[in-house]
Amino acid sequence: MKIRDRFTLGIVCGLAGNVVKMSLMSLAKKKNWAEITGQEKSAGMLLPSHQAYSPSGKIVGIAADNVVAAMLGVGTVYMLTSTGKDKALLKGLAFGEATWVSFYGVLSTLGGTLVGPLSPKTVLCEMVGHAVFGATAAITATTLGDPALFPKKKQLTLTAPIRSSQANDFSAEKTLNETHAKNG
């Protein structure tokens, strides 16, 4: 049975993507490739930085990270239902990277969290984590979503269509001659 509701599908996709991202970031921290995880950064949005690393701070961080992931999953589903599910992996990667730059880059710089990465390797791990998040969310959406949610490829037009009665009236020569005749 496929999920027909975009919002529900988005929550499921965001949480699925976040499980993969959280696992990857936990591994990166254990391997000393990253100094913090997304949960700690999310906890820093709501708590002072010294509390973000406490056991209760970690719970707050996990909850906050999953709420953000669920909402980003909804965004992923709406993006895919608007643009189609073709190239979903690429669209998911791009969406994941856009959220990384937006949330982790811009909002962190503006003080959105009191916990920040200390080295480029942590930032690179976060970038990979968000790419994997986006890709997982998009693939989950196309796998679990009802096919009726996703439009077939549409032909995009760059100009307004000309009605057949107008087609004969538009010629550069005729328009130019009429302009010269009026201006004498």
Q: What is the pLDDT of residues 68-83, one digit of tens each?
A: 999 999 999 999 999 9
* Cβ partners under 8 Å of residue 125, min gap 6: 24, 25, 28, 33, 34
How far is residue 112's CA from residue 3's CA, in Å, rounded to a whole number? Answer: 34
Amino acid found at 174? K
Q: Which tokens in the block code for residue 55?
A: 């056991």
Length of the chain: 184
Q: What is the DSSP string of 125-168?
A: HHHHHHHHHHHHHHHHHHHHB-GGGSPPP----SSPPPPHHHHT
Q: What is the pLDDT of residue 165?
A: 55
- Residue 122 pLDDT: 87
Nearest CA to 12 out of 74, 64, 68 is that of 74
Would the pTM count as exceeding 0.85?
A: no
What does the pLDDT read at residue 166? 52
pLDDT for 22-47, tens place per residue?
A: 999 999 999 999 988 888 888 888 88
Higher pLDDT: 15 or 153? It is: 15
CA angle 158/160/165 to nearest 5° reads 140
Domain ranges of the chain: 6-149
**pLDDT at 5 exceeding the cut of 60:** yes
Torsion of CA 86, 92, 95, 101, to 10 degrees: -150
pLDDT at residue 87, as a whole number: 94
Task: Find the mean pLDDT for residues 9-13.
Answer: 98
pLDDT per residue as tens digits for the range 86-141: 999 999 999 999 988 887 766 666 665 656 657 889 889 999 999 999 999 999 99
The more confident residue out of 55 and 181 is 55
pLDDT at residue 39, as a whole number? 85
* pLDDT at 36 (0 to 100): 84
**What confidence score (pLDDT) does residue 151 get?**
80
Residue scoring higher pLDDT (28 or 175): 28
State the Cα–Cα distance between residues 22 and 123, nearest whole angstrom: 15
